[in-house]
Structure 1
């Protein structure tokens, strides 16, 4: 379908974004801005949801043009999968967990910077605890998408943004890896009037070269990257335009995937993945 993944989000036909958040123990590793991987990932997701709220606000009213699920995996220990929050945007806007005061540097209009207090609503707290049950997390996302598509078959195709720093844990006789692969393929095979659901993967690593929007796993250095590449969707045309807006370059057969993401890239990638492809607001 030439119009795949191009249907506009609207109050009548809301989009659906699922954030899958790795909360395994290794997310406690130092990352950026004096934060560990879990803290920085939570910060980016909280900011992204607040930006979605602002973009979809008309005066005081938040328009429910998108439904958001935040799913944590590993954070409650072992193989836990936790539906942190699933709501329409207006509910996020009305009921944050808490409001955090952050210092933000802004221009003083005379070439200098001043620090101001910024209030940021918080929807997910950082956790770094258990294993990496990515297969279970994808299975849960699959159930959510199936339920959504039964009720809303005409809506824009759902999008999963998975943020992880590694492989599904190798216990369970390696079955977790196979499960993640199988379930991801099943999700990407669902048919909607707007094409197939999309899975975009952000791998937060340390050290090895960063790569983004590759079109072949030959360019990738490590097994984590190759695995996540294999469960990432090809980027549809509508999203290629969005990538350009975010200053990201995309090849003909690029997958929605970044490996060893630096902090700035993680922010860009999540903005791209949650943009609905283009400025798809009706």
Structure 2
């Protein structure tokens, strides 16, 4: 059965985060009892996630190489790594600690056992800065990811397959729908001995349509061309993920979910990413 390999120093896991940094990401969205530009809120979430990967890898002697992490931004400036001073797209947790851009005080919310929300101020390391301009070259970003993952899978054949999380608030401006589907199909031809990569797509929008998170069937989606495109290119979630989805989204039984979120809010984004990043950690 696929998608069961354990993460270890010998067989690390590849995590790829793709971030839309087009001009529309300056539009505001509800975030932590207020409103913030999408690009700022998304940067905060990604930095927190990177901090989690560092914490999970920490040991007495330093950091264990459990993850190869890649963060790619795509915008009017093209496709580029968002991890400063890295010579390659993939970065280990130990390398990540050495390329922090700055630190800043941020508020962290935690849900307490009694149901109350506790707010604390913490010092957050910053790897990804908020920026947004130009168009949305999503196809070019997927093409770059394909090249990097192809090499990675060849070198880590016994590892858990790469996890790819794409965060965007719009459609690709550098391709037709067919061209986007084709480049994603290329990514899905890649494999480790434990299966093919898992692609999760997150659409952030200000539309009036209801949020659709981890749909089980295409019929759940609105009459929206982009929603159906996302559904078609997103991965079917493996059993280990499906169990976590059922628990966290209050489904009475475990279903067959697609790794997509349409018209997602910032709180949806946090829950969605947590499913992807913490489930494999528990294997």
TM-score by length of 1: 0.87
Decide whether aligned partners of structure 1 residues 179 and 53 sit closer, same or farther in structure 2, where only a CA change above 3 A counts.
same
Question: For each residue in 1:6-27, what CA deviation from the matched residue of structure 2 results, as whole angstroms up to 9, or x when unmatched?
Answer: 1111111000010000011111
CA drift at 1:194: 0.6
Q: Which runs of 5+ in 1 are unaligned?
A: none
Question: For each residue in 1:14-51, what CA deviation from the matched residue of structure 2 results, as whole angstroms up to 9, or x when unmatched?
Answer: 00010000011111110123311111111111111111
Paired position in structure 2 for 1:217:
218
CA drift at 1:117: 3.4
1:272 aligns with 2:278: no
In 2, Cα distance between equivalents of 1:161 and 1:185: 15
Runs of 4+ in 1 over 6 A off after TM superposition: 112-115
CA drift at 1:127: 1.4
Paired position in structure 1 for 2:204:
204
**Aligned residues, how many?**
269
Question: Which of 123, 126, 131 matches 1:122?
Answer: 126
Question: Which of 1, 7, 10 matches 2:8?
Answer: 10
In 2, Cα distance between equivalents of 1:278 and 1:104: 22
Tell me which moved more, 37-46 or 182-191: 182-191
Contact kept, 8 Å, 1:98 with 1:121, in 2: the verdict is: yes
CA drift at 1:185: 1.2
Report 1:84-103 matches (<5 A): 84-85=82-83, 86-103=90-107
Question: For each residue in 1:202-256, what CA deviation from the matched residue of structure 2 results, as whole angstroms up to 9, or x when unmatched?
Answer: 1111231001111222221222211111110000112123334544648532101
Q: Secondary structure at the match of 1:230?
A: helix
Contact kept, 8 Å, 1:28 with 1:37, in 2: the verdict is: yes
Paired position in structure 1 for 2:263:
260
Alignment RMSD, CA only? Answer: 2.4
Contact kept, 8 Å, 2:199 with 2:235, in 1: the verdict is: yes
Question: Which of 144, 147, 160 matches 2:151?
Answer: 147
CA drift at 1:97: 1.1
Tell me which moved more, 26-35 or 15-24: 26-35
In 2, Cα distance between equivalents of 1:116 and 1:232: 35
Q: Secondary structure at the match of 2:124?
A: strand
Contact kept, 8 Å, 2:139 with 2:183, in 1: the verdict is: yes
Paired position in structure 2 for 1:189:
189
Q: Which runs of 5+ in 2 are unaligned?
A: 84-89
Contact kept, 8 Å, 2:5 with 2:158, in 1: the verdict is: no
In 2, Cα distance between equivalents of 1:242 and 1:9: 18
Decide whether aligned partners of structure 1 residues 106 and 5 sit closer, same or farther in structure 2, where only a CA change above 3 A counts.
closer
In 2, Cα distance between equivalents of 1:248 and 1:47: 25
